[in-house]
Structure 1
Amino acid sequence: MTPDELQAARDRTVPDVVAGGLRVLFCGINPSLMTGATGHHFAFPGNRFWPVLHLSGFTPRQLRPAEQSELLQYGLGITNVVARATARADELSAEEFRAGGDILTAKVEKLRPQWLAVVGITAYRTAFGERRAHIGRQERTVGGAHVWALPNPSGLNAHWTAQSMAAEYGRLRRAVTADPHPGTGTGTGTGSGTKT
């Protein structure tokens, strides 16, 4: 991929990988230029989403970004808080995040996944006005889905290793497996709300 091809992907949108009634809808911050150019979510070579998804037990093998549609057979999907591709997440405004939160809520209401997993705590805090949110299960619901905030798998997030990220993603997977139909969509689901 040439620098010109990447720059041409700026502000592109990438179709979601979604279906109704998913177990988990993973929600990225916004597409990278590589994702915008290829049409494949989490496509930047340093992004650890695909390895971590496998290490945490969500997929039986490590999928490549080009195999993203295979997630649907596992009851998993991908969307973003903000749809447009940028080189860096800090190019997005707080207003874009808040508007994205509203769009995401409507999307979740329509698709009715059991869980919404936002991969990026800062994006979650900004989009939903939850300034004190921590990594882990959240007390609130979004569009009727229970919410888990996960670490951002970007290679720039050096605080988290692939192994520590996989442990947190694994906590979500165990919660999904233990309670495959949490609550009734009214925000009264079970669980301790444990956070790290």
Structure 2
Amino acid sequence: MAVLADVLRPGLKVVFCGTRPGTRSAAAGAYYAGPGNRFWPMLASLGLVPPDFDPRGFETVWRHGIGLTDLCKTSAGPDASIRAGDFDVAGLAEAVGRAAPARLAFNGKRAAAAALGYPSERLAYGRQPERFAGAVVHVLPSTSGAARAAWSPEPWARLAREILASVG
């Protein structure tokens, strides 16, 4: 059983894929619920969700063209404790293929490397040359408080500009 239910449906502009829910997110039953996580404030600052969007209502984020999922669905905790066998790449491909979003954005290199099948050192932040289950792929710096050393808002801003430019 999944720690957090996917927020996926056809017609999404972007699906954000994390590695797995953190301990605080699992306890709260909500994506990116840790107090140091930049995810929701970043989306609001980029105009992808309204400034008053309440992350506790994450199930409604699809109304803004955004989906949510994780590569490891069955456990929670820090990324450092994930084993390679915990990743469900086939399940992610099936879910993304079914929802057919325009973009799949990995929140951190760890999930992207596992899904794309090569080392994270080989990944650059931003739009990738390959697609995943039909979706354009972006790799973004992790919004986790534990990943502050690698933080940069610029790849997030580039993705937001692309999304907003594609809207009507």
Moved over 3 A (4+): none
State yes or no: 1:152 paired with 2:142: yes
Q: Quick one: structure 1 residues 91 and 12, their matched pair in 2 at CA, closer, same or farther if it must change by over 3 Å? A: farther
Match among 58, 81, 93 for residue 105 of structure 1: 93
* Distance in 1 between residues matched to 2:80 and 2:150, nearest whole Å: 19
- The answer to whether the 8 A contact 1:17-1:69 is kept is yes
* Distance in 2 between residues matched to 1:60 and 1:172, nearest whole Å: 17
Aligned to 1:170: 157
Q: TM-score, normalised by structure 1?
A: 0.77
1:146 is aligned with what amino acid?
V
* Distance in 2 between residues matched to 1:105 and 1:64, nearest whole Å: 29
State yes or no: 1:115 paired with 2:88: no
- The answer to whether the 8 A contact 1:35-1:85 is kept is no
* Distance in 1 between residues matched to 2:108 and 2:54, nearest whole Å: 21
Q: CA deviation at 1:12?
A: 6.0
C-alpha RMSD of matched pairs (Å): 1.9
Identity between Structure 1 and Structure 2 (%) = 32
Q: CA deviation at 1:144?
A: 0.5
* Distance in 2 between residues matched to 1:118 and 1:106, nearest whole Å: 16
Q: Quick one: structure 1 residues 143 and 40, their matched pair in 2 at CA, closer, same or farther if it must change by over 3 Å? A: same
- What SS does the aligned partner of 1:140 have? strand
Aligned to 1:95: 85
- What SS does the aligned partner of 1:139 have? strand
Specify which structure has the bigger relative contact order, considering alpha-carbon pairs within 8 angstroms and separated by 6 or more residues: 2
Aligned to 1:136: 126
Q: Unpaired runs of 5+ in structure 1?
A: 1-10, 182-196
2:58 is aligned with what amino acid?
Q
* Distance in 1 between residues matched to 2:82 and 2:3, nearest whole Å: 14
